A and B are shown apart, each in its own frame.
Chain A
């Protein structure tokens, strides 16, 4: 019954809003190996659960209300905290309360990006967690 892939739609919305390219600047799944130093900020998008779906009556036809959680991880260029946090906030602003076709709502789950620390090549990382609600 479920038909939407929120991480794909969110990546597409970010590419449009921030003038980025899916597959180059935005990638699916959890972050893999750290980038080599000197790269600009990179974004990773992955689903990570959400509360249980609420079935409607006549659920085989009317479907359920789905509460998908999507994590957008923003990684800065090497030792570039300012650029990274700016990009993380831009991600939040591009997605929070955006009216997207097929969705009931997209909402940020925290007011500020969640700082995750710095990796071995001095790239800062933030998580922007998004709730995507939809009916199918």
Chain B
């Protein structure tokens, strides 16, 4: 297993009806993608223990974001913006290389378009996890 280079990765998106096996579209102009599967925790520290914190994992969650240079005609960027404006869920798939992916069901919640006269127009989109992350090549981590 070799270390993988970031520029071989990519992010694809799909509308709600596509499902995980549906038709995904590459988002154009991608500069940086992020999917962070994580477990939330509950504090179960008891006052009569020996003076240290105790926590237990609870729900599974993920942080999602994607930065890209704005391309008005791009179909992938349009899916993200549509999820936000219509408040409809979408799928977010991160390829770490050609085959290894993480997938999350989510809503787009922010589509900030920053205008700077000295740089290309860039969007740092935020997405809110809404269930069913899977991670490969490890055993899929799934929330029903």
Using CB atoms and an 8 Å cutoff, list the residues of chain A in contact with chain B. 54-62, 65, 104-105, 107, 133, 135
Contacts and interface: CB of A to CB of B under 8 A. Distances in A.
Interface residues of B, number: 16
Interface of B: 6-11, 26, 28-33, 69, 118, 120
A58 B69 contact: no
A56 B31 contact: yes
Given A56-B29, A62-B30, A135 B6 contact: no
B8 A59 contact: yes
B29 A107 contact: no
B94 to A, nearest CB: 9
Given A56-B7, A104-B120, 15 more contacts: A56-B29, A56-B30, A56-B31, A57-B7, A57-B9, A57-B10, A57-B30, A58-B10, A58-B26, A58-B30, A60-B8, A62-B28, A62-B29, A107-B118, A135-B69
B29 A135 contact: yes
Contacts of A105: 120
A105 B116 CA distance: 12
Going nearest first, the 3 A-B pairs with the smallest beta carbon separation are A58-B10, A57-B30, A59-B7
